A = this chain, B = another copy of it.
Amino acid sequence: MSTISTKDKRLKHKEDLRKKILEVAKALFLKHGYDAVSIRKIAEKIAISPTTIYLYYKDKGDVIYALHQEGFKMLSAQFVVLASVEEPFERLKAMGRSYIRFALENPDFYELMFIMRDPINFIDKDCSKEWEEGGQAFESLLNTVEDCKSHGYFSQIDLHHMALYIWSTIHGMCSLKLQGHLDHVVKTNFPEAEKDLTLEGAFDTLVLILKSLK
């Protein structure tokens, strides 16, 4: 009886420490960016030896990948509430705005999820995981585009091509913005009257174009 309870305690402690490591990694990540997530810094903040972390995560890529997953859960949560929007084109617009807001409010997470190569390398290396979270987000987009098609939108373009096209455009805008390229181009190549261009403004151009594809 007591053997089981102590065993459970041990297991719980293991789980807790695993969580704690991730929690500290996330805090460092949010406060000081990607570079601050070093095994030694995590260990110091949690008052354990750096090598202990390797008993809970295979390597640094494993820790980073766990954060990567957290990001996808956050984004998915934002998408779920949009399922209530009935009109498909309105839902598509809402998804776009939601995606952009996520990128602007969580630039570090966005970088980890869609720009950095490390986490996707970790997935490819460890083929066991099928990485549902990623596929699920794109599935949401596919469904919405399909609904748009059944309402007369994008009739001359293939469903999967269209979904990929929309994602590419919005991701392109977000990544150019987050890496500072957008601001740079606006500063040096845009006329005075248009220097106040925002990401949302760029998105409006996409909406205008998509609307014309009815």
Question: In the complex, are the beta carbons of B171 and A130 less than 8 A apart?
Answer: no
Chain B residues near A160: list those with CB within 8 A: 189-191, 194, 197
Q: Which of B130, B161, B179 contacts A114 (CB 8 A)?
A: B179
Q: Which of A128-142 contact B (CB under 8 A)?
A: 130-131, 134-135, 138-139, 142
Question: In the complex, are the beta carbons of B156 and A202 less than 8 A apart?
Answer: no
Q: Which of B167, B184, B194 contacts A134 (CB 8 A)?
A: B184
Q: Which of B142, B158, B175 contacts A172 (CB 8 A)?
A: B175
Known: A156-B208, A172-B173. A189 touches B135 (CB 8 A): yes
Number of residues on chain A facing chain B (CB within 8 A): 52
How far does the alpha carbon of A165 sit from the alpha carbon of B116 in the complex, in Å?
23
Question: In the complex, are the beta carbons of A189 and B157 less than 8 A apart?
Answer: no
Residues of chain A touching chain B, judged by Cβ–Cβ distance below 8 Å, are 114-117, 120-121, 123-124, 130-131, 134-135, 138-139, 142, 156-158, 160-162, 164-165, 167-173, 175-176, 179-182, 184-185, 188-191, 194, 197, 201-202, 205-206, 208-209, 212-213
* Given A164-B205, A169-B169, A175-B175, 12 additional A-B pairs, CB 8 A: A117-B179, A134-B185, A156-B212, A157-B205, A160-B191, A161-B197, A162-B205, A165-B169, A167-B176, A168-B173, A170-B172, A209-B213
